[in-house]
């Protein structure tokens, strides 16, 4: 249930972010999003600070805190900046569809780290899901002249970073309480993003943001706090593969929100791609037969 809630919020956040990216820079939006999200988690994290310090360390306490902060910077700084950059160039449904490769990338990273076994069904799922993403991009493949692929590449890079972070989080979540880890990882990215976003002149431009932009920022900030807590809660209690497979819920959530809020059409190619991605996820996560277990 936690993984499902988090995944639906990811899809809704992708669509709502498009309301803000027209006037808010991608780095500025990421900074404000996680400043709000971190502030929402901080009071609850403070209550469990003693549990964080009393838990048995994985390496040393300082090294563990630095590791969790570094993963947070990757997941909240780099990943979201790339996603916001992409949303300036492609639609919410298309971005969410490419981002839905996240589970399969997680499986591949986990297999490379020795935590998952690559099976024929997993490989079949990868191929079918990639076919679904290719179908969603069919109009570009058939267009004449050069096409701008930077938006699609940025979403793919953000999904790869998120997949790697999901695997890297697991050892920390087995030793430390979820809420302090969430707050530490989220707030670690805010300071770096504040500096990185200075070329976007965010201190001068914040007063000029419209009410729509601030409403979108507030929604993605609060939903990030809820979604990230539920995401880490799920990762704490289940394997990365079982958790990330629920991200198949974010393309339909993004498509629905994009249609309701932005008037984005849902093309037949996108609908067919959703079916293929869902089929690929089903193939990749089918339980092994008893004999092969």
Tens-level pLDDT at each residue, the chain (293 residues): 888 899 889 888 888 888 888 788 888 988 998 899 889 888 888 888 888 888 888 888 889 999 999 998 998 888 888 888 888 888 776 787 788 777 778 878 887 777 667 677 767 777 777 777 667 666 655 554 445 688 888 989 999 998 888 888 888 888 888 888 888 888 888 888 899 889 988 988 888 899 989 999 999 999 988 988 888 888 888 777 677 777 767 777 777 787 788 777 766 766 777 787 778 767 766 666 655 55
Q: Is residue 91 helix, strand or coil?
A: coil
Tokens read off for 187: 């707030």
Task: Pull the structure tokens for residue 128.
Answer: 């079918």
What is the rounded end-to-end Cα distance, in angstroms, of the chain?
Answer: 26
Single pTM value for the model: 0.70
Of 102, 110, 138, 75, the residue nearest 254 (C-alpha): 102
């Amino acid at each position: 249930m936690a993984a499902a809630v988090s995944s639906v919020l990811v899809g809704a956040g992708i669509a709502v972010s498009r309301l803000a990216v027209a006037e808010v820079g991608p780095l500025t939006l990421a900074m404000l999003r996680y400043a709000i999200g971190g502030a929402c988690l901080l009071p609850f994290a403070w209550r469990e600070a003693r549990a964080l310090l009393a838990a048995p360390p994985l390496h040393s306490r300082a090294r563990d805190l630095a590791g969790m902060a570094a993963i947070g910077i990757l997941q909240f700084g780099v990943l979201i900046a790339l996603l916001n950059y992409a949303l300036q160039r492609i639609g919410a449904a298309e971005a969410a569809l490419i981002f839905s490769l996240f589970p399969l990338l997680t499986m591949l990273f986990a297999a490379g780290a020795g935590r998952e076994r690559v099976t024929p069904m997993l490989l079949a799922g990868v191929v079918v899901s990639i076919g679904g993403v290719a179908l969603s991009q069919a109009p570009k493949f058939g267009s004449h002249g050069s096409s701008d692929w930077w938006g699609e590449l940025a979403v793919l890079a953000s999904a790869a970073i998120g997949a790697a972070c999901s695997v890297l989080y697991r050892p920390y979540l087995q030793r430390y309480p979820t809420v302090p880890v969430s707050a530490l990882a989220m707030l670690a990215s805010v300071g770096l993003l504040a500096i990185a976003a200075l070329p976007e002149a965010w201190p001068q431009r914040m007063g000029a943001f419209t009410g729509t932009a601030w409403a979108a920022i507030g929604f993605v900030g609060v939903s990030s706090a809820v979604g990230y807590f539920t995401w880490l809660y799920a990762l704490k209690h289940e394997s990365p593969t079982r958790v990330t497979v629920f991200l198949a819920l974010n393309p339909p959530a993004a498509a629905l929100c994009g249609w309701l809020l932005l008037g984005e059409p849902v093309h037949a190619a996108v609908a067919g791609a959703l079916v293929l991605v869902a089929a690929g996820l089903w193939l990749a996560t089918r339980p092994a037969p008893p004999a092969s277990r």
